[in-house]
Amino acid sequence: MRQRIAHIALLVKDYDEAIAFYTQKLNFTVVENTPLNEEKRWVIVTPPGANECSLLLAKAGNENQLKRVGDQAGGRVFLFLFTDDFWRDYNAMVAQKIKFARSPREEAYGTVAVFEDLYGNLWDLVEPSATN
């Protein structure tokens, strides 16, 4: 038996502004952008080199969902972006004016810093240590 998590739905206010952030600021790739109706699209983005899990950008469809845009995890780190070169990606993100909520630090599991996406969701940027 084989299972995997294919997509993680990320609530967004607007498809195009979210696509612009992820592709222009984080260098993600749009894998799919299919209209479903006048209001909804199936938008999937992935980071460079990813082949397992992707983000499904899901436009908030009602007031309750709109309230949760940017706070899907109640203020905790929500998503984890692993990299093979922390300082390359950290410096590129700083150049793109990505807001970092916590400065880089060395942990037992690797080098990590916490950044915010365009709506305020918290992400870990992590270069795992050689043992992880």
Choose between 64 and 130: higher pLDDT: 64
Domains 1-69 and 73-132 share a fold: yes
- For residue 93, is it left (φ>0), alpha (ψ between -120 and 50) or beta? alpha
CATH 3.10.180.10 fits 73-132, yes or no: yes
What is the pLDDT, as a whole number, of residue 87? 98
Each residue of 26-81: pLDDT tens digit? 999 999 999 999 999 999 999 999 888 999 999 999 999 999 999 999 999 999 99
**Domain regions of the chain by residue span:** 1-69, 73-132
**pLDDT confidence of residue 32:** 97
Top CATH class, 1-69: alpha beta
The confidence score (pLDDT) of residue 53 equals 93
pLDDT in tens, 77-100: 999 999 999 999 999 999 999 999
Contact status, residue 58 vs residue 41, Cβ threshold 8 Å: no
Full strand arrangement of the beta sheet holding 122-128: 77-82, 122-128, 110-116, 100-107
